[in-house]
Amino acid sequence: MKKTVLLLLLLSFFSISSWAQTYQVGHKQQTFIDASRSNRSITAEIYYPAATAGDNVAIAAGQFPILIFGHGFVMTWSAYAPEWNALVPNGYIMVFPTTETSFLPSHTNFGKDIAYLVSAMKIEGLNPSSTFFGAVGTTSAVLGHSMGAGSAFLAVQYDPSITALATLAAANTNPSSIAAAAGITIPSIVIAAANDCVAPPLDHQLPMYIALSSACKTYVSITGGSHCQFAGSNTNCSLGEITCSPQPTINRNTQQALTFSALLPWLNYYLKNDAASGTQFQNLIAASSGITSQQNCSLLAILEATQGTLSISPNPFSAWTTMQTNQALTNATLTLYNIYGQIVMERKNINGNTITLSRDNISSGIYYLRITEGIKIKAVNKVVITN
């Protein structure tokens, strides 16, 4: 009885219509060109925080993490209105590649498209003529549903600057998402539906979760949920469930409310360094109302990662800069990435409160640094190197 009451409270609190929505939802379509793949054209639908809802409106003031979301097999981005209406108003830029929608998709190309859009959006944030100039944050996550979730597993290998991985009903791909999982070390959450007969958890999501090398990973199963109910109503997905057994025992709204009650605080913790969201997420996992879960860590054990501050001076810098933390580091690692997600510098075994970073032979430009201490993310910042 207590769990039933708690579940009803959670669904009431986390229902999409009742969430406090800080931002309206702006939308635009944009085509990107990946020169490294014979000028491959990648059209994307982009939803972003705005003061006024609509197409091609101005983005809201601030900097927002990037979410790249891969669609399911023969599904379109428009099926994922529940996702962008849940996440974008809470301060995220959400990008949906519209490639690989045929009956013979290339999972490799889709994974590369997802990864490419991470760096492409960072470049948009530096482009004075872009809608997103100055608004793209330093953190990012790759997400997806079904085939798109499996392709998100593939995407991680192509951009090591990606902060986190989050998937819904991930389907194993060709090449194998399960095999790719073994090379993934970033924070990951794998969300499954217990009554999924399209990509059954025992054959798809659980093997992916087990194979992940992430120091902090979580598996969440929505009790009574189905494969297609993660998305909005979609004919192509529904056709795949006609002969399904077992059928879902919860409705679409309930499944989505449970999903976002876990996904949103998890993203807030890792992409926004929000310690309260970490507590909220762990409390949800502990309550086990409407879900079952597995973890190899607890976000509560790494909350101090979000409580520190990092000052960088000078920034921009031409020869060297000094970073000062308000919490001493122990055996920390500093990784510096360029805007394409390539590692240009890595320093390990850092101790104390002060780090001096020399330019060495690094070219002028915008870079992103991440400081980690074991499984703790101590800082994610942008630095500028000048001539």
pLDDT over 80 at 210, yes or no: yes
Among 82, 140, 70, 134, CA closest to 108: 70
Higher pLDDT pick, 325 / 158: 158
- pLDDT tens sequence across 131-160: 999 999 999 999 999 999 999 999 999 999
Q: Which letter, b or e, does each residue of 191-224 get, where b requires 16 or more Cβ atoms within 10 Å of its Cβ?
A: bbbbbbbbbbbeebbbbbbebbebbbbbbbbbbb
Predicted local distance difference test score (pLDDT) of residue 340: 82
- pLDDT tens sequence across 51-60: 999 999 999 9
Among 326, 306, 304, 302, CA closest to 375: 302
Predicted local distance difference test score (pLDDT) of residue 361: 87
Q: How far apart are alpha carbons 301 and 311 in whole angstroms?
A: 24
- pLDDT tens sequence across 149-194: 999 999 999 999 999 999 999 999 999 999 999 999 999 999 999 9
Share of the chain above pLDDT 90, in %: 72
Beta bridge partners of 32: 42
Predicted local distance difference test score (pLDDT) of residue 13: 44
Predicted local distance difference test score (pLDDT) of residue 238: 86
Predicted local distance difference test score (pLDDT) of residue 288: 82
What single-letter amino acid sits at 182? Answer: A
Predicted local distance difference test score (pLDDT) of residue 300: 62
Give the number of other Cβ atoms within 10 Å of residue 349's Cβ: 9
246-252-258-263 Cα dihedral, nearest 10 degrees: 110
What single-letter amino acid sits at 233? Answer: S
- The answer to whether 149 touches 130, Cβ cutoff 8 Å, is no
pLDDT over 50 at 255, yes or no: yes
Can you spell out the DSSP letters for 70-121?
Answer: EPPTT--GGGGHHHHHHHGGGT-EEEEE----SSS--HHHHHHHHHHHHHHH
Three-class SS state of 152: helix
Average pLDDT over residues 331-346: 89
pLDDT over 80 at 276, yes or no: yes
pLDDT category at 342 given cuts 50, 70, 90 is: confident
pLDDT category at 1 given cuts 50, 70, 90 is: very low
Q: Going by DSSP bridges, is the β-strand pair 93-97/64-70 parallel, antiparallel, or unpaired?
A: parallel
pLDDT over 60 at 12, yes or no: no
**Domains defined along the chain, listed by start:** 2-303 (3.40.50.1820), 308-385 (2.60.40.10)
Average pLDDT of the chain to the nearest whole number = 90
DSSP code at position 18: G
pLDDT category at 21 given cuts 50, 70, 90 is: low
- Sign for the CA dihedral angle at 375, 376, 380, 383 comes to negative
pLDDT over 70 at 301, yes or no: no
Which residue's entry shows tokens 């054209």? 41
Average pLDDT over residues 274-297: 90
Radius of gyration in angstroms for the set of CA atoms belonging to the chain, rounded to a whole number: 20
Average pLDDT over residues 22-41: 97
- The answer to whether 295 touches 217, Cβ cutoff 8 Å, is yes
pLDDT category at 253 given cuts 50, 70, 90 is: very high
- The answer to whether 318 touches 385, Cβ cutoff 8 Å, is yes
